[in-house]
A and B are shown apart, each in its own frame.
Chain A
Amino acid sequence: SLRRRLCILKGIYPHEPKHKKKVNKGSTAARTFYLLKDIKFLLHEPIVNKFREYKIFVRKLRKAYGKSEWGTAERLKDNKPTYKLDHIVKERYPTFVDALRDLDDALSMCFLFSTFPRTGKCHVQTIQLCRRLAVEFLNFVIASRSLRKVFLSIKGIYYQAEVLGQPITWITPYAFSHDHPTDVDYRVMATFTEFYTTLLGFVNFRLYHSLNLHYPPKIDGQAEVELKPAEGKEYAMDSESYLEKLSALSASLARVVAPTQEDDVEMDEFPVEGETAEQMDARKKEQEALEKHKKLFEGLRFFLNREVPREPLAFVIRCFGGQVSWDKSLCIGATYDVSDPSITHQIVDRPRVEQQVVGRYYLQPQWVFDSVNARLCLPVADYFPGVLLPPHLSPFVTEQEGDYIPPEKLKLLAMQRGEDPGEESEEEEEEEEDDDSDKDEEEEDESEKEEEIKLKKMEEQKTQSNKALPVKVTAGKVRLEDKQRLEQEQQSEEKRLAIMMMKKREKYLYKKIMFGKKRKIREANKLAAKRKAHDTAVKEEKKKAKKARRA
């Protein structure tokens, strides 16, 4: 309906009234409420008239078809009313940063629509436009090297880029044809996409210009020559092959002003006020780490086998400065062949590789993603073809104190700190893990115990200094423990009594917080216990296998 489309385009959302019963005339049934102001605001939108015109156009067209007046229909179609959403974009996002902040959904939607088949569900133009915009954005991310995190989930692939300090996260589905669900209203999605494509187009324009790149993007002249299909065969029409070349993601883009060495002038550093030297150092270090991260794959040459997903891998590798190629028959834009001796890594996703070439690593695709997330090139041994892969962890999780941290993450953190756990024997590792899980379990008691021990020590010292005879000290010890316990009991009782005196609202809040905390601890403990059980099971399995081998 008209109102729904307007609400979507203008970003009007319902409000929760303060007094639901009062607004709802006494009934408590669930209803959605819009602010009157918002609805009035919708009425002033000039696009309303355009929508009405469009409605009239549809009516006329239907009439013409009904009367079989083909000429009229043709004429009407030529004069189809169109509308633009530019001013709405500007109105909703008065500054560019606002637009960037809201880019997550726009990107995810565009990436989804660009994978739709060209038939049915929505207009072909929309799909093509989505594909174009998505590819342009990917090219921008490559050019600006702003990708930060990648995550292979069971839903799709998550990417996180940092543009102008804003984290932008989007998800792309795995490249399979969609099983189109019936309980989805595609009209709603199409309306959203209409707005998102407009937004993304303007954002892309601005982003390209911020990097001095041409928009619409042009492939670098030198690269273009390389990309020309050999043997003078026409690959496709120029307009079509352009997008394909662009989506191959292997060529760099042409700049408006050719980059010169002078452009890389080091930025002068101005100390931020109120910042101590330590903070500045930390900032500097972070900056350096970021620069290093951006050049993670610099100088490496990758080759993608035909069974690995080409686009995500090519995108990720190029984002971190690596060179990438693939089989010529797979996609346009392959720059070198399998037989190229300078290839350092070949990404393979099959259990066994026949005819291995010496001088390159054969790795599973997870290595690329894990390396990106770990901000360093991980040891390759775990990722050889056919090897049982280490777990793929989410880079979006930052564990707080008291949360469960999987042992792999701990290992990774140690590696990032520069410690080298690599050469430890397996047994030791396992022991370590056991210790970790134990720690988690005892976490609650630990602090109390520590305090207890401290206090005990202090008391002991006191008694020792007071009394010269050591015999009496041991005699006193038993009593001391009792005292300790008594004190603790007393304290806990005091707390209980104080809780009794809390106001009703505060007590509710307190109980809720405590419940949440306890649940968190319980969950962490459960995960730790599960891990422990799993590890012991694996160990026993190994032992059995060993025995079997011996026998």
Chain B
Amino acid sequence: ADPIPTPPHLSLSSLLQDIRNTVGNIPMEWYQDFPHIGYDLEGKRIYKPIRNKDELDKFLEKMENPDYWRTVQDKMTGADIKLTDEQVDLVHRLQKGQFGDVHFNPYEPAIDFFTHEVMIHPVTNRPADKRSFIPSLIEKEKVSKLVHAIKMGWIKPRKPKEDTPTYYDLWAHEDPNSILGRHKMHVPAPKMKLPGHEESYNPPPEYLLSEEEKLAWEQQEPAERRLNFVPQQYRCLRAVPAYPRFIQERFERCLDLYLCPRQRKMRVNVDPEDLIPKLPKPRDLQPFPTTQALVYRGHSSLVRCISVSPSGQWLASGSDDGTVRFWEVCTARCMKTLPVGGVVKSIAWNPNPTVCLVAVCVEQSVLLVNPCLGDKLLYGATDQVLESYVPPEEERVQPVQWVTATSEEHGRGIRLTVQHSKALKQVTWHGKGDYFATVVADNSNMQVLIHQTSKRWSQNPFRKSKGMVQCVLFHPIRPYFFVATQRYVRVYNLLKQELTKKLMANCKWVSSMAIHPAGDNVICGSYDSKLAWFDLDLSTRPYQLLRHHRKALRSVAFHKHYPLFASGSDDGTVIVCHGMVYNDLLQNPLLVPVKVLKGHALTLDLGVLDVAFHPTQPWVFSSGADGTVRLYT
């Protein structure tokens, strides 16, 4: 009645059919891919059951076999074994944590080996040893050694350790000398920001985020959020949960304290109104143009250039539609239309009031036109002067050709044609009205030419090219000549034939230039929307850079008598500024913007192309890409 079955190898019968596996205690998965599962005692392979059971077989067996629950697979042989009742019982007991043996009683009464009751007889009757009565010599030796060591101070009794820190009045003697230089330099850490209403557990309803705000909050980077939490409302204090990021926030504060660079920043505590400079009121700086008075319509394409006659009665405008129109200023009436058969790049009225002559740049030639407007005596005299030309005896080599107009051209008003080899950019008169300069769109030393009308001859003042010339100007009084390249303005003395000054414009690309009638101040407009005011006496750098326009400046102009200058830009506005120059050399010029004039419509991303002042009145003309010329008074 041994409940534990005899191990199979002990019984003889089982020995015969012993198919014990000899592979040992190894993971049986290693034999997964082999047909056998190990080796028996004789070294022969033990094969796996031939047919592997698939899921369906397993299921069927589960359903049909009543003993399925007590069938286990022997991993070592691969065979199915049906557990006997005893074995099942054993498994159950082990599962419950009981002993495997049914008959084992773990709670048998304990029998003391020596009972707690004192017996009358001793267990052993051996008499006590003598050594138990005599003090031990070895121990004595040890103790005496220790005693000696203590006496000599080699061993010290262990001091009781203090666990809790002791505190005392650390600041009992606050001495001001202990405040080192370090403390003066020390930047105390800023305190944590105090919480606002939105952090409350029960905030006013307006502080709660709406759905879309919440979504936006979630999509923001954690560093960008204005609040590092979502405001929430709880009905009572009991419902408030723990804040999950509490420890992180303390930790971040710690990191800030020891890793953030500290810097004293002066908080700017200024009234923004104080920042606005106190300028004289525009009202006190009158007169200046304030309103649009007249519109000169007629051109069908953008009007590139305008020029006012020295008397102020006439206005000439050149356009991309290939015509030059002459207008009466006061009535906006087009007096004359002169087709020239090409884009008019530049136009300039002769500044000499006794001469009635207009220089027009068309493609490769300059046309000198007598518009035959105004005083008959005047324009008759001009014609006479031009016709009185006597060609010199010996022909000089000239860079250009002077051609007298044909009779048909003469009828239209054209008197002379100066033919260049390349396309022209600009023409400008000298103050006396005899000389004029032209700029050729070229990169050689032939860019700038100076012509004399009365003698009909031209010369090239420069031997070397210094870059693309944008525009040129004659000084109104002295024999100076201004040449603006992309970034510099060079001032040449025409008499001495030398470079006197080089002005740094501090901008990328100069577009236009104008000179103050007194001749000591120059303004330059540039394509990077800056206007530079140079004081020639002061320095070669701009006295002031004005960034009033939002887009590239196209042209700038000074008024002849009034302290005004204007600039026209691609943003469609003309800004009129008051630019007072004092005779006292110590006083710097006063620049005040006085009016922003609007009116031109933007076409092709271009706004105002040219501005010009009336010679006597505080009026300004502007020509725009919308094909109109406007007068502001």
- Whether chains A and B associate is yes
- Residue in B243, B270, B283, B546 whose CB lies within 8 Å of A156: B243
**Inside 8 A of A96's CB, which chain B residues have their CB?**
171, 174
Within 8 A of A (CB), among B169-206: 169-171, 174, 178-180, 182-183, 186-189, 191-192, 194-197, 199-206
**Inside 8 A of B186's CB, which chain A residues have their CB?**
11
**Inside 8 A of A509's CB, which chain B residues have their CB?**
268, 270, 275
**Contact between B249 and A155 (Cβ–Cβ < 8 Å)?**
yes
A329 smallest CB distance to B (angstroms): 19
Considering the chains assembled together, what is the distance between the CA atoms of A209 and B172 in angstroms? 11
On whether A201 and B247 interact (CB within 8 A), knowing A102-B188, A366-B237, A396-B194, the answer reads: no
**Contact between B204 and A391 (Cβ–Cβ < 8 Å)?**
yes
Query: Is B153 part of the contact surface with A, judged by Cβ < 8 Å?
Result: no
**Contact between A89 and B246 (Cβ–Cβ < 8 Å)?**
no
Query: Is A330 part of the contact surface with B, judged by Cβ < 8 Å?
Result: no
The total of chain A residues at the interface (CB under 8 A) is 104
**Contact between A174 and B174 (Cβ–Cβ < 8 Å)?**
no
- Residue in B169, B182, B248, B548 whose CB lies within 8 Å of A181: B248
Considering the chains assembled together, what is the distance between the CA atoms of A408 and B197 in angstroms? 11
Considering the chains assembled together, what is the distance between the CA atoms of A509 and B274 in angstroms? 11
**Contact between A176 and B197 (Cβ–Cβ < 8 Å)?**
no
Considering the chains assembled together, what is the distance between the CA atoms of A307 and B281 in angstroms? 72
On whether A94 and B201 interact (CB within 8 A), knowing A14-B261, A152-B237, A152-B240, the answer reads: no
**Contact between A388 and B235 (Cβ–Cβ < 8 Å)?**
yes
**Proximity bits, B253-274, A CB within 8 Å = 1, else 0:** 1110111111100001010100
**Inside 8 A of B548's CB, which chain A residues have their CB?**
500
- Residue in B169, B234, B259, B276 whose CB lies within 8 Å of A209: B169
Considering the chains assembled together, what is the distance between the CA atoms of A501 and B276 in angstroms? 8
**Contact between A169 and B246 (Cβ–Cβ < 8 Å)?**
no
- Residue in B203, B232, B255, B591 whose CB lies within 8 Å of A392: B203
**Inside 8 A of B195's CB, which chain A residues have their CB?**
151, 153, 155, 158, 394, 396
**Contact between B248 and A184 (Cβ–Cβ < 8 Å)?**
yes
B598 smallest CB distance to A (angstroms): 12
On whether A497 and B596 interact (CB within 8 A), knowing A8-B258, A188-B251, A391-B204, the answer reads: yes
**Inside 8 A of B272's CB, which chain A residues have their CB?**
510, 513-514, 517
Considering the chains assembled together, what is the distance between the CA atoms of A499 and B278 in angstroms? 10
**Inside 8 A of B261's CB, which chain A residues have their CB?**
13-16, 32-33
Considering the chains assembled together, what is the distance between the CA atoms of A108 and B250 in angstroms? 8
On whether A154 and B171 interact (CB within 8 A), knowing A112-B250, A349-B237, the answer reads: no
Which among B160-168, B296-304, B346-354, B448-456 touches the partner chain?
Answer: B160-168
Query: Is A322 part of the contact surface with B, judged by Cβ < 8 Å?
Result: no
Query: Is A204 part of the contact surface with B, judged by Cβ < 8 Å?
Result: yes
**Inside 8 A of A450's CB, which chain B residues have their CB?**
none
- Residue in B187, B237, B242, B277 whose CB lies within 8 Å of A501: B277
Query: Is A76 part of the contact surface with B, judged by Cβ < 8 Å?
Result: no
A-B contact count (CB 8 A): 258
- Residue in A183, A201, A364 whose CB lies within 8 Å of B167: A201
- Residue in B179, B258, B275, B591 whose CB lies within 8 Å of A94: B179
Considering the chains assembled together, what is the distance between the CA atoms of A206 and B183 in angstroms? 22
- Residue in A41, A95, A174, A204 whose CB lies within 8 Å of B171: A95
**Contact between B259 and A391 (Cβ–Cβ < 8 Å)?**
no
- Residue in B163, B245, B259 whose CB lies within 8 Å of A125: B163
On whether A389 and B199 interact (CB within 8 A), knowing A202-B167, A498-B276, the answer reads: no
Considering the chains assembled together, what is the distance between the CA atoms of A407 and B244 in angstroms? 31
Within 8 A of B (CB), among A172-220: 173-174, 176-181, 183-185, 188-189, 192, 197-198, 201-202, 204-206, 209, 215
Residue of chain A at shortest CB distance from B236 = A349
**Contact between B276 and A510 (Cβ–Cβ < 8 Å)?**
yes
Query: Is B592 part of the contact surface with A, judged by Cβ < 8 Å?
Result: yes
Considering the chains assembled together, what is the distance between the CA atoms of A498 and B578 in angstroms? 13
Which among A55-63, A281-289, A527-535 touches the partner chain?
Answer: A527-535
**Proximity bits, B586-616, A CB within 8 Å = 1, else 0:** 0000011111100000000000000000000
Query: Is A231 part of the contact surface with B, judged by Cβ < 8 Å?
Result: no
Considering the chains assembled together, what is the distance between the CA atoms of A392 and B180 in angstroms? 45
- Residue in A201, A392, A510 whose CB lies within 8 Å of B200: A392
**Contact between A90 and B170 (Cβ–Cβ < 8 Å)?**
yes
Query: Is A542 part of the contact surface with B, judged by Cβ < 8 Å?
Result: no
**Contact between B170 and A94 (Cβ–Cβ < 8 Å)?**
no
Query: Is B207 part of the contact surface with A, judged by Cβ < 8 Å?
Result: yes
B244 smallest CB distance to A (angstroms): 6
Considering the chains assembled together, what is the distance between the CA atoms of A393 and B246 in angstroms? 21
A3 smallest CB distance to B (angstroms): 11
Of B180, B196, B250, the most chain A CB neighbours within 10 A belong to B250
Query: Is B462 part of the contact surface with A, judged by Cβ < 8 Å?
Result: no
Considering the chains assembled together, what is the distance between the CA atoms of A480 and B259 in angstroms? 64
Within 8 A of B (CB), among A355-409: 364-366, 388-389, 391-394, 396-397, 406-408
Considering the chains assembled together, what is the distance between the CA atoms of A178 and B243 in angstroms? 9
**Inside 8 A of A7's CB, which chain B residues have their CB?**
258
A251 smallest CB distance to B (angstroms): 22
Considering the chains assembled together, what is the distance between the CA atoms of A8 and B270 in angstroms? 37
**Contact between B593 and A497 (Cβ–Cβ < 8 Å)?**
yes
**Contact between A206 and B169 (Cβ–Cβ < 8 Å)?**
yes
**Inside 8 A of B279's CB, which chain A residues have their CB?**
497-498, 501
Query: Is A423 part of the contact surface with B, judged by Cβ < 8 Å?
Result: no
**Proximity bits, B277-320, A CB within 8 Å = 1, else 0:** 10101110000000000000000000000000000000000000
**Contact between A183 and B248 (Cβ–Cβ < 8 Å)?**
yes
**Inside 8 A of A497's CB, which chain B residues have their CB?**
279, 282, 592-596
**Contact between B188 and A101 (Cβ–Cβ < 8 Å)?**
yes
Of A32, A33, A308, A500, the most chain B CB neighbours within 10 A belong to A500
**Contact between A32 and B183 (Cβ–Cβ < 8 Å)?**
no
**Contact between B204 and A501 (Cβ–Cβ < 8 Å)?**
no
Residue of chain A at shortest CB distance from B198 = A394
Considering the chains assembled together, what is the distance between the CA atoms of A496 and B163 in angstroms? 73
Of A102, A152, A408, A496, the most chain B CB neighbours within 10 A belong to A152
- Residue in A13, A198, A201, A350 whose CB lies within 8 Å of B238: A350
**Inside 8 A of B238's CB, which chain A residues have their CB?**
307-308, 349-350
**Contact between A153 and B237 (Cβ–Cβ < 8 Å)?**
no
**Contact between A78 and B207 (Cβ–Cβ < 8 Å)?**
no
On whether A393 and B197 interact (CB within 8 A), knowing A86-B170, A169-B192, A513-B272, the answer reads: yes
Query: Is A476 part of the contact surface with B, judged by Cβ < 8 Å?
Result: no
**Inside 8 A of B259's CB, which chain A residues have their CB?**
13-14, 32
B212 smallest CB distance to A (angstroms): 12
Residue of chain B at shortest CB distance from A530 = B206
**Inside 8 A of B204's CB, which chain A residues have their CB?**
391, 393, 406-408, 531
**Inside 8 A of A366's CB, which chain B residues have their CB?**
202, 237
**Inside 8 A of A209's CB, which chain B residues have their CB?**
169
Query: Is A105 part of the contact surface with B, judged by Cβ < 8 Å?
Result: yes
**Contact between A155 and B205 (Cβ–Cβ < 8 Å)?**
no
Query: Is A506 part of the contact surface with B, judged by Cβ < 8 Å?
Result: yes
Residue of chain B at shortest CB distance from A350 = B238
**Contact between A364 and B237 (Cβ–Cβ < 8 Å)?**
yes
Query: Is B229 part of the contact surface with A, judged by Cβ < 8 Å?
Result: yes
Within 8 A of B (CB), among A494-524: 494-502, 504, 506, 509-510, 513-514, 517
**Contact between B263 and A15 (Cβ–Cβ < 8 Å)?**
yes
Query: Is B158 part of the contact surface with A, judged by Cβ < 8 Å?
Result: yes
**Contact between A206 and B171 (Cβ–Cβ < 8 Å)?**
yes
**Contact between A105 and B232 (Cβ–Cβ < 8 Å)?**
no
**Contact between A179 and B244 (Cβ–Cβ < 8 Å)?**
yes
B49 smallest CB distance to A (angstroms): 50
**Contact between B178 and A205 (Cβ–Cβ < 8 Å)?**
no
**Inside 8 A of B391's CB, which chain A residues have their CB?**
none
Residue of chain A at shortest CB distance from B239 = A349
A-B contact pairs, 17 of them (CB 8 A): A84-B165, A95-B171, A154-B231, A158-B194, A173-B243, A174-B242, A174-B243, A178-B242, A178-B247, A202-B168, A206-B169, A364-B237, A497-B595, A500-B546, A509-B268, A513-B270, A517-B272
Instruction: Other than A78-B161, A102-B188, A152-B240, give 9 A-B pairs with Cβ distance below 8 A.
Output: A11-B186, A11-B258, A99-B171, A101-B188, A169-B194, A173-B246, A394-B199, A498-B279, A534-B206
